[in-house]
Structure 1
Amino acid sequence: MSGPSAASTEVESARKACGRLHQAYSSSRLYPSDHPTARNTLGEFVDALESHLDVYGFMMLRVEEDRLVFEDEEVYSHEEVRSSVAFLMFRDGIRFVTFYPGIEAGEIESFVDCLAHADELAAVEHDLSTALWERDLQHVEYEVVDPFLGGGGERLRDQALNELRETVIRRLSELSPGSGGAGPQGGQPEQADPESMTLTPADIRRGEQAVADPSDALEDFTVVLLEIAGISGGSPKGEEALARALALVTERILDSGDVDALDLVVSRLRSLEAQGRRLPEFARDVVGEGMTSARLTRLIASIGQVPPVEAARVERVLREMRDWVLPTLLELLAESADKAVRKTALDLLDAEGGVPARHLWPLMADPRWYVVRNAVQLATGSGAPELAGHLERLLRHPDARVRREVIRSLDAVGGARSAALLARGLSDEDPSVRTLAAHGLRRHGNRAHIAAVQVHIDSREFETRPAEEIAAFLQAYATLGGEATVEVLGKLWKRRVFGTRPLPVRLAAIQALGEVASPSAREALVDAARSGEVPLQRVAARALADIQARMRGAGG
């Protein structure tokens, strides 16, 4: 009986919070942030959300085009779609949003502010997910449809391929010395003499004229050069001239914004590289040399200026040329004033095999916090032996956002040295850094690190810390110490004669006992389940159920 009723109450609580969210969003659009109406509606949303999180834990909402869904129940919709917070998030690719306990009023206000100004972001080539990412909200998590997944762009049809083949054969015949204008019947490109493919000064002039003349000649000449690039064995001078001519036409293509032609060049170069007919250095010479930061910025910015199908095509081309333009991407990451461009550059750099670490060390000394944070994020998967030394130095960085990324990196890397540095992070001045460090040490530490955790638990001010931090420390303590921690955890949740500990401490201690799962820990949880205090009973029951599930799984 209590199960369905409790579920219904939880859904109603989420529905109330979403209703308050809409009111806060609407008021923030109409009034200045310091207006009484805006402040009141924001305060009501803060109260409703915090109340839900205090009772039920995190709140995950599925974002659909015209509604928000919680536990498969609709908890929000709005008749006017354009004024719907669900539509705003859905439009910019957000499919799930989750709020976690411990969220601060400032984070909630930032979230509402981003929604209220979502329509203004398009004017500055920004989107909602990027705006939220820049706010670095620690207790708000959102899942975005990745713009760099999936295909995109149209494929050439058979007829177009046939026409292209005829053009290539005709142009190759024209370019071959002594061919006498044999035309399409003069032989297939694969059978041409490599020496006859060497570009003459006249060919180079023709290429430069094609570059200067924005006509169909540019496309035809590009096709010819790409076909010649597929035939190896030319003289060194011919190879150099070929790379120079292709670089010239590629620069012209970039300046003209012709995505069709750029797609052709990149796809063909990728194909030649995959077939082993050209080394990666050739494509870097052709595309990378001419890819200035201004050209790459224009290409990235075009994503928000074209229809979705065309935008997907640009994104695919960017992915395919990524390895050839790494230096320019790194330059944008550090120097671009456009946050959306920086985020796209970061996404590209973080894809595939990452970035060679040697390019990232200088960025970690940059005075701008976001450059350092992004460099740490990119370096995490590099496996470079020097990484730990850089992370150790950055644990003293003045900006907490950098230190948080350092802790995440140490957690991802793992190992004995990372565990030692995570233990140092427990004493950081910022609560969010300490919380992340405790979670990381729980995964990578050992019994030697128990003392580093316990010194905080024993401190007088521990009970005044945020609930999320208290829970992280006690879970790390239980995981690292095992059976030896049961007595201390048992004392933490029980009532005292003089002054009972705060509820977050008692609840976290019960949750931590569930990590131990020994007979004495289960006995302590049974006592908590019989305590007569409903919040403690609920948490203890869940912990016991989790232990039983793990035991069944281990036995199966």
Structure 2
Amino acid sequence: MHFDIGETDLRWEDTVVYSQDNRGESIAWTLYKDGVRSLTFKRGVEDGEIVKLLGVLQQAKNLLADAPEDLLTLLWAQDFQFVSYTFRELVSEDAVPIEAGETIPATPPTTVRQYVEEEAPPKREGLVSIDDFDTTLYFLDEKEVEYLKGEAEREYQQDLRRNVLSMLFDLLELQTYATVRGELISILENFIPYLLGAGDFRSVAFILREMHVILQRARELTPEHRQTLENLPGRLSQVDALSQLVQSLDEASVHPTEEELSELFRELQPEALPTLMGWVPKLTNERVKELVHKAAERLALANAAEVLKALASEDGAAQLEMVRLAGRLKLPGAPEGMGPLLASGDRTLKLAVVEALTAIASPAAMRLLEQAVDDGDRDVRIAGVRFLAQRGHRNALARVEAAVTGGKLKNADLTEKMAFFEAYGSLAGAKGISVLEKMLLAKGLLSKKEDPETRACAAMALGKIRSAEARGVLEKAAQDKEALVRNAVSRALREVGA
């Protein structure tokens, strides 16, 4: 905004926007009497400089007549960036006009330079002259300019916190006085909460890494200082500290980068695993959840004992997540801690255990899955018996045969009956043909005939045996009166012939 200044008013685009006839109170007169004829306000003046300008005007109004300063001096001292002005030199009343003189002839620049060179004293030997260098406006070549720009940018982008921490660790390593080391360790201990609060997780990870280096390289560390340094990384992995950290990350409006969080989580100790598993189902931020998963995977792969601790946790959500993680990573030692979980009353947890055991498929996992055959939950039984049949685990045959030939499946639905009978056919092989034949074909008028569902299941079990003897039994029942049985026999014959 540009203002023209008169004796009593300020004008903006020829429009009076300020007028005060009383010169003692007029801002316009304060400016005008000291020669200021225009003011220009630039964007940003309202952030602070407008207040400074008003202060200068008030100070100028109170100046004494013989004061060494005037308004222009005060304005110049403020070095305004968003305020510019023009002024006129004031002429005293008794000034005498200067008469016009003769015209001074113009001399060409080349002639002037020649005169100067002729009058200049001779150069001394060994003296470096600026003329020996290229002093044009752009005397640096492009590579040199780019180098200077890069160095300036690198200087401004330096991580000052990292530099300070590096100096502290250098002192901690080289300084052998116990008092000095104690003070440095105290500074680092107090620095970690500050960095966490500031969201500088990369620097926290740097501190934890450097602690290991100091423990290996520092000379003459006292037992007290060594213990303090060894315990410092573990504090972040404690339940309360880690829970507060993960919760703040999940609820934060501005999130750190994935690289920063990864660096921090890589420094977590094994005891952090149960806490991380407990927080996974509570997290709402997908990026934080993914990073917590990765940290948990790293700890689980390297620390079998902590996996068992997490499986034995009193937090059901943590147990469930640990079971899923163990199955995803196929941890061979995990089945050792899953036995009590399979005997629990939590259906979701038991199904997750069965799924994890089928993924691990180790001898220990297969032995646990045998228990699933007799579980009280239908889905657990079906999942367990199907996988055991798929893997041909004959140690489970006794349990499966007891269910097929006994009364356990009497009230079961068709899906469960089918799963057990097919598992029996796969595991028993030719030895099971006689048992299945008795169920499928009732011999004699007085012999007991099984219900259609059981007979259909027996037919499907014979189809799993895939032998000529089994095919012969199925062909005898091909014209059975029950449609359910005929369909099952037809499917079984196709499977036998495959």
TM-score when scaled to structure 2?
0.48
Larger relative helix fraction: 1
Larger of the two Rg values belongs to structure: 2
- Return the structure number with greater relative CO, CA threshold 8 A, min gap 6: 1
